[in-house]
Amino acid sequence: MYPPVMAPQANMFCNVPGYEGTVPGGGGFLPPPMPMEPVAPPQPGPENPEWSIPSLSEDEAREAFKEFVSSHCCYSDAPVTEGEITSMEPFNTFRYRLETFTESRSTEWAEKPYEGEPADFYTQPAPRPWEVQATPPKLFSDHKMKIRVPYTSSVKECYTCHATGIEQCTECNGCGKKSCWVCNGTGVKFDAACSHCNGTGKESCSKCNGRGKKECQTCKGKRQLLTYIELKVEWKNNVEDHVVEHNSGLKTDKLSSVNGKELFKNSQNLVYPLFGFPNPAVSQTSERLIKEHQTKYGQTSRILQQRQTVELIPITRVNYKWKDNTHAYYVYGKEHKVNADNYPATCCCVIL
């Protein structure tokens, strides 16, 4: 009754110069062209003489500990009120962050129900993928955009319904009726004729209102499709952090949730490694990550901007004595967060 549903024919999609490898479903990202003008060489950033951070006082350490304990319902405050701080050890460390803001482009053949749009295929040469204008978002923010490439649009008959605008209902296989849900198609319920289907075992299909056909889902009843090349543009901020080894005993992943004192920030098209930084590990990390990012992202993306930041993160190990036993906790970050994995005064709470 209905022609079989078909996949898009290969000749549906025209050959467009500059897009020879474009297929339905798309492929990988397209390598960016060489810049028309040479990119300015990266320049070293300004020096920042402020490499220190105020040490944590005992009062601040005690107050941070108090707030930490009060946020845990099963922690007694006895170690806070009765404990005595015996020593405080600073383990301040550096966090280096590199951000590489990139733009990537990919293309694929796309289609939509035809609604009278101009079919501009070959009215003039289509712009190449990296020639299509796309307005980037704010620097270092992720964003995606889809653009119909100019001069690639053409109108085709719908391959699903063969330009009829309708297709067979898949719920009832085109017959307009399906098994009664009350009697499961038997026509009998409780040893009597099913009152829902009057004993027929069939009921009208609700998906197509008993017609056996419905609007074509591919062309939405328009009978024709607009086929065109769709350009997908993705802006992405690729961020990588490295925390210099601090040997404090505090797990490094704890530091991801806190901020430090910003010592240095530099943003350019391509940033320059921080040679001569007071901590050699930061210089080495800066050189390594910059090289890795420019190699990794420069192959398939256009690097629009890079930014590097150095923070000094305060970490203090606070040793204290309570009930003749020694214990320790850590205060870290500008927020004075506390970590006390082996808190000595916990209880079991039962919520009724």
Distance (Å, whole) CA 146 – CA 134: 9
- In this structure, the chain runs to a length of 352
CA–chain centroid gap for 252, Å, is 24
Query: 143-162, pLDDT tens digit by residue?
Result: 999 999 999 999 999 999 99
Distance (Å, whole) CA 318 – CA 59: 12
Of 315, 146, 113, nearest in space to 226 by CA: 113
Contact criterion met (CB below 8 Å) for 141 and 239: no
Query: 324-352, pLDDT tens digit by residue?
Result: 999 999 999 999 999 999 899 987 554 44
pLDDT at 1: 44
pLDDT classification of 186: cutoffs 50, 70, 90 = confident
pLDDT at 165: 95
Of 99, 91, 138, 133, nearest in space to 254 by CA: 91
Query: 6-51, pLDDT tens digit by residue?
Result: 445 545 566 787 787 777 766 667 788 766 555 656 656 555 555 6
With tokens 């910003």, the residue in question is 262
pLDDT at 330: 97
Question: Kind of pairing, strands 213-215 and 202-204?
Answer: unpaired
pLDDT at 206: 87
Predicted confidence (pLDDT) at residue 125 exceeds the cutoff of 50: yes
Calculate the dihedral angle through the C-alpha atoms of 201, 204, 205, 207, rounding to the nearest 10 degrees: -150
pLDDT at 48: 54
Of 91, 95, 90, nearest in space to 264 by CA: 95
pLDDT classification of 66: cutoffs 50, 70, 90 = very high
Contact criterion met (CB below 8 Å) for 94 and 52: no
Question: How is the chain split into domains, by residue range?
Answer: 166-215
For the ranges 189-193, 243-247, 259-263, the lowest mean pLDDT is seen at 189-193
Predicted confidence (pLDDT) at residue 295 exceeds the cutoff of 50: yes
**DSSP code of residue 75:** B
Query: 77-112, pLDDT tens digit by residue?
Result: 999 999 999 999 999 999 999 999 999 999 999 999
DSSP, collapsed to helix, strand or coil, labels residue 289 as helix
Contact criterion met (CB below 8 Å) for 352 and 79: no
pTM over 0.85: no
CA–chain centroid gap for 298, Å, is 20
Cα dist from 294 to 60, 240, 304, whole Å:
43, 13, 11
Predicted confidence (pLDDT) at residue 310 exceeds the cutoff of 90: yes
Of 339, 240, 345, nearest in space to 297 by CA: 240
Predicted confidence (pLDDT) at residue 181 exceeds the cutoff of 50: yes
Token reading at 269: 């098209």
pLDDT classification of 53: cutoffs 50, 70, 90 = confident
Of 167, 193, 191, nearest in space to 180 by CA: 193
Token reading at 115: 């609604």
pLDDT classification of 187: cutoffs 50, 70, 90 = confident
- For residue 90, give every residue at least 6 positions away whose Cβ sits within 8 Å of its Cβ, in sequence order, or none: 55, 56, 314, 315, 316
